[in-house]
Amino acid sequence: MTVMETTPAPAPAKVDVCAAAPESHPRPNGQDRYTISEVVAFTGLTAHTLRWYERIGLMPDVDRSHTGQRRYSNHDLDWLAFVNKLRLTGMPVAHMVRYAELVRLGEETFAERQELLESTRRDVLNRMAELQDTLAVLDHKINFYAGTRPAPERD
Amino acid sequence: MTVMETTPAPAPAKVDVCAAAPESHPRPNGQDRYTISEVVAFTGLTAHTLRWYERIGLMPDVDRSHTGQRRYSNHDLDWLAFVNKLRLTGMPVAHMVRYAELVRLGEETFAERQELLESTRRDVLNRMAELQDTLAVLDHKINFYAGTRPAPERD
DNA sequence: TAGAACCTTGGAGTGCACTCCAAGCAAGCA
DNA sequence: TGCTTGCTTGGAGTGCACTCCAAGGTTCTA
């Protein structure tokens, strides 16, 4: 809970969020002021969901045009791609919001972020093991069904 | 929809459901008349969920005591174990109900059952690929966080 | 034979993750 | 300048998969 003094090291802001793999962006940095409908097209999320993410604190600090419309950056796109990955693991949104909060709080939260991701990692491995298990059962049954019939389209 | 004449072949009922792997049952066949709370203990599902499965057609034909209380068989336990595996894949309950319906309809539905399971199999493989992808991202970030700190409990 | 613990039902409620709505302002084009 | 399309908000609604409730009957142990 106690916030330490900011470290004097001149680390660039990007380091804090932990740069993602070098994904290509629709537009180069500097021209990256995407409207919400562009982000919809790039991410597959709906505009509703994007606004909702912002409301619950999962998508912080989206820039605005002078009239108040959202303008997303490449950095925002990277964040959304990461969130999407977490979402696919079945991670509850509340945990993602917690992670987003930790990112906002700065470098003091590196340890907790690491723990959170490691816990997620364990969940992912468990899910993969479950799926592998299920795959075996499915294959068993599929083979059974395939074997009981005269192989419709063979040859 | 049309129901064919019952096949004269004296196939045991078990064949139709496609026997699962030889899982050990709490009690041998013949003494397998489990109460709902026993099934809760074995499966980890709640009694609410078991009754709900029955109501929606996912858990058909559970035997009853002479006073109307449910008595589950080893066969029912096998079915629940399979349903649980499907559930873990994220398969919608409506699809599982469809599969249960096909089982009820008999051997004429083998082909459709196979298709349904093959489609599920593809979903499982896709999910596993997504998870593998996510795992790479998680590892990348975890390594980043681990590298920025003085390795707390090393040595 | 009493009392506790368990089981029954239909229907209503819950939590999650969106999803939609109405009313109004903004942006781009003929 | 008008018209169409897009964007804004808070709040209400949706769909899924459970989850719980009340009121009453059943089973088991002492």
pLDDT digits (tens, 9 = 90+) for A101-111: 999 999 999 99
Percent residues over pLDDT 90 in chain B: 68
Q: Is B47 at the interface with chain A, CB within 8 A?
A: no
Three-state DSSP class for residue B14? helix
pLDDT of residue B7: 33
Residue A154 in this model has a pLDDT that exceeds 70: no
The more confident residue out of B24 and A150 is: B24
Q: Rounded to the nearest 5 degrees, what angle is found at the Cα of B128, between the Cα atoms of B127 and B131?
A: 85
Using CB atoms, pick whichever of A18, A110, A138 lies closest to residue B149: A110
Using CB atoms, pick whichever of B85, B139, B146 lies closest to residue A134: B85
CA distance between the termini of chain B: 69
Question: Chain-wide mean pLDDT for chain A?
Answer: 84
The sign of the torsion formed by the CA atoms of A146, B120, B111, B84 equals: positive
**Spatial distance between the Cα atoms of A123 and B64, rounded to a whole number of angstroms:** 39
Over range A107-131, report the average pLDDT: 95
Residue A13 in this model has a pLDDT that exceeds 80: no
Residue A20 in this model has a pLDDT that exceeds 60: no
Task: Report if CB A135 to strand D is under 7 Å.
Answer: no
pLDDT of residue A31: 83
Please state which of the four CATH numbers 1.10.1660.10, 1.10.10.10, 1.10.3130.10, 3.20.20.70 is assigned to the domain occupying A24-148: 1.10.1660.10
Residues in A touching B140 (Cβ below 8 Å): 18, 20-21
Weakest mean pLDDT among A8-12, B49-53, B73-77:
A8-12
CA of A35 to C1' of C28 (A): 14
Residue B140 in this model has a pLDDT that exceeds 50: yes
What is the maximum span of chain A, computed from C-alpha positions, in angstroms?
Answer: 74
pLDDT of residue A114: 96
Residue A43 in this model has a pLDDT that exceeds 50: yes
> Which residues on neighbouring strands pair with residue B72, listed in sequence order?
B34
pLDDT digits (tens, 9 = 90+) for B95-123: 999 999 999 999 999 999 999 999 999 99
> Which residues on neighbouring strands pair with residue A71, listed in sequence order?
A63
In this structure, which topology does domain B22-148 adopt according to CATH? Multidrug-efflux Transporter Regulator; Chain: A; Domain 2 (1.10.1660)
Interface touch B85/A137, C-beta < 8 Å: yes
Over range A24-53, report the average pLDDT: 91
Q: Which of residues 74-103 of A touch strand D (CB under 7 A)?
A: none
pLDDT of residue B15: 44
**Spatial distance between the Cα atoms of A121 and A101, rounded to a whole number of angstroms:** 19
Interface touch B88/A120, C-beta < 8 Å: no
Task: Return the domain boundaries, chain B.
Answer: 22-148
